[in-house]
Chain A
Amino acid sequence: MKWSLWGLVLLGALPMAATAQKSTAEGIAEYRAMLADGNPAELFEARGEDLWKQARGPKKASLQACDLGKGPGVVKGAFVELPRFFPDTQRVQDLESRLLTCMETLQGISAAETAKTPFGQGEQKTLEGLVAWISAESRDMRFNLPQSHPQEKLAYEVGKRLFYLRGGPYDFACASCHGEDGKRVRLQDLPNLTKNPGAGNGFGAWPAYRVSSGELWSMQRRLNDCYRQQRFPYPGFASDATIALGVYMGVNGKDGASIAPALKR
């Protein structure tokens, strides 16, 4: 997190007099600008960096030998190339899925157990810090997901199918809310995730600190709640479906700059 004097400058520049009647959109923009300085995600980043270096789990090992796709221990730039295909697991993995693998192989912490753990508890809490820090290490870098392996291409196409899949009692697909430009649900802008700039902005904001719950949400948790609101059944944590959606959004967001971990409603 960069602590610039931006917030201060903005505060000074904004007309604060109660007489100034603003449009709703301007009001919301002002609210967000005021909060931009001091994103509590930074608390999670600090915890995540510690957790990466700490010897933990039955094997009392750190995660410093974890290969996030750019070689063992390389964190910088890894986030903007995920999800990608990993030869050792023969699987396309996103950040959360890859961390499950590393925690299991290096630390002896069961991936299946962590995937089953409710959000915000136990090793899921560990993941919150890790994804905050790892994504922050790629802040301002541009998304460039690999699409050379056949599995990466397949994951993109499957992600696209899932994005447009209407189901549940409300007939909702991801595309119902995120398939067009300039739409809102209530007052929240909905990024069009089928192309840039929406895909880069939307995909590139998560993990994020959610002010509504005061929690750090990974992309897996974000997608889990999307599917809940879509009235779908429950997607497994780091399942192929949620990873494939990540590939679809991330590839569509190519060259968009990562602002994760961002601050969201």
Chain B
Amino acid sequence: MMTTKRQAGLLAFSALLAGCAAGPSTRQVDEATQQVLKSSFREQGIARLDRLAPDASNQACSEAQGRPLDEKLAKSIEAENLATVKMPGDGKFIGDWREGEKIAQNGRGMTWSDKPGEANGGSCYNCHQISKAELSFGSIGPSLYNYGKLRGVSDPASPDSKPIVDYTWGKLWNAKAYNACSDMPRFGHAGILNEAQLRDLMALLLDPKSPVNSQ
């Protein structure tokens, strides 16, 4: 009556657990979790099963279950991620903040209902306040309103601004380079946004004329 596939899930462990009042051991939970993942998920559209296999960073942060990582482990994860950051090929960091605003508003991309090859959004407003005009913003990440202004960026091209410009690019490219278990996607590293899109988001955050800094 139930499918064989489903029976293979948790059921396989009932024998193991018989007479075990204290609850399952870590190993039993590990094995059951792997079986459950295997029996429960299937590919759909562009969402392939390899998405379930975490890389080293995600593995460590999953296991931590919200607790802070061991400092040495965190540092090594951050170093690994920092090494992936690719600075823009042509040395240009700042694009068009108007385009950046559109990308920040757009929450689409890479779900099983999205088509391959379509440009993804940045989902930025889902988690951050950015420009003052948008009232519908999330609070998972810090407010980015006045991002450039608060950091004293009056000309993103000036040498004075270089450190903050580099950091911001790096943070967008791979947020885990600065915070091992950041909740923020690795937009450049994971291929969510391309260089041109990242430049536009940089402009939204750092261009003095962007409403983020001018209003």
Q: Name A's B-contacting residues (CB within 8 A).
A: 24, 89-92, 101, 104-105, 111-112, 150-151, 153-155, 157-158, 160-162, 164-173, 175-177, 179, 182-187, 190, 194, 228-229, 231-236, 239-242, 244
B156-215 residues with Cβ-Cβ distance < 8 A to A are 176, 183, 185-186, 190-192
Beyond the given pairs A101-B2, A190-B140, 13 more chain A to chain B contacts, judged by CB atoms under 8 angstroms and listed by A's residue number, are A151-B13, A154-B10, A158-B29, A162-B36, A162-B37, A165-B33, A169-B110, A169-B190, A170-B185, A187-B137, A228-B112, A233-B41, A239-B6
Chain B residue nearest to A182 in the complex (CB):
B139
* B 119-146 binary contact with A (CB < 8 Å = 1; else 0): 0000001110000000111111000000
Contact present for A235 and B40 (CB under 8 Å): yes
B76 at the interface (CB under 8 A from A): no
Q: Which 6 A-B pairs have the closest CB atoms?
A: A241-B40, A239-B40, A234-B44, A240-B9, A150-B17, A166-B58
Task: Please determine whether A164 and B111 come into contact, CB atoms closer than 8 angstroms.
Answer: no
Given the interface pairs A157-B29, A162-B33, A184-B138, the reply to whether A90 lies near B47 with Cβ below 8 Å is: no
**CB 8 Å contact bits of B34-74 with A (1 = contact, 0 = none):** 00110111111001110111100110011111100000000
Counting chain A CB atoms within 10 Å of each CB, which of B62, B137, B191 scores highest?
B62
Chain A residues near B7 (CB, 8 Å)?
90-91
Q: How far is the CA of A176 from the CA of B123 in the complex (A)?
A: 14
Q: Find out whether the CB atom of A176 lies under 8 angstroms from the CB atom of B10.
A: no
CB distance from B187 to the nearest CB of A (A): 9
Given A151-B10, A166-B54, A228-B112 in contact, is the A161-B33 Cβ separation under 8 Å? yes
Least distance between A186 CB and chain B CB atoms (Å): 5
What count of chain B residues pass the 8 Å CB interface test?
63
Contact partners of A89 in chain B: CB under 8 A? 1-2
CB closest residue in chain A, given B109: A231
Nearest-neighbour CB distance to chain A for B118, whole angstroms, equals: 14
Nearest to B48 among chain A residues (CB) is: A233
Q: Given A170-B192, A184-B139, A240-B9, are A234 and B112 neighbors across the interface (CB < 8 Å)? A: yes
Q: What are the residues of chain A within 8 A of B54 when measuring CB–CB?
A: 165-167
Query: In the complex, what residue of chain B is closest to A228 when comparing beta carbons?
Result: B111
Docked pose: A8 CA to B131 CA in angstroms? 37
User: Which residues in B have their C-beta under 8 angstroms from that of A185?
Assistant: 126-127, 138, 140
- Most-contacted residue by chain B among A151, A166, A194, A229 (CB, 10 A): A166
A154 touches B66 (CB 8 A): no
CB within 8 Å for A167 and B32 given contacts A158-B10, A231-B110: no
28 contacts between A and B (CB under 8 A): A24-B136, A91-B9, A101-B1, A112-B3, A150-B18, A150-B23, A154-B10, A154-B17, A157-B24, A160-B65, A161-B33, A164-B64, A164-B66, A165-B54, A169-B191, A171-B57, A172-B183, A175-B66, A184-B137, A187-B135, A187-B136, A233-B41, A233-B43, A234-B44, A234-B112, A236-B42, A240-B40, A241-B36
**In whole Å, how far is B130's beta carbon from the nearest beta carbon of chain A?**
12
Q: Are B66 and A171 in contact (CB under 8 A)?
A: no
- Contact, CB under 8 Å: A184 / B140: yes
Instruction: Point out residues on B near A: beta carbons under 8 Å.
Output: 1-3, 6-7, 9-11, 13-14, 17-18, 20, 23-24, 28-30, 32-33, 36-37, 39-44, 47-49, 51-54, 57-58, 61-66, 110-113, 125-127, 135-140, 176, 183, 185-186, 190-192
Query: A150 contacts which chain B residues (CB < 8 A)?
Result: 14, 17-18, 20, 23-24
Q: Are B6 and A240 in contact (CB under 8 A)?
A: yes
- Chain B residues, CB < 8 A from A155: 10
Contact of A228 among B37, B113, B192 (CB under 8 A): B113
In the assembled complex, the CB of A95 is this many whole angstroms from the nearest CB of chain B, namely 16
Assess whether A154 is in contact with B24, with CB atoms less than 8 Å apart.
Answer: yes
Residues of B within 8 A of A160 (CB): 65
Q: How far is the CA of A187 from the CA of B138 in the complex (A)?
A: 6
Chain A, Cβ-Cβ closest to B25: A157
Bound-state Cα–Cα, A150 to B110, Å: 38
Write the nearest CB–CB distance from A242 to chain B, whole angstroms: 7
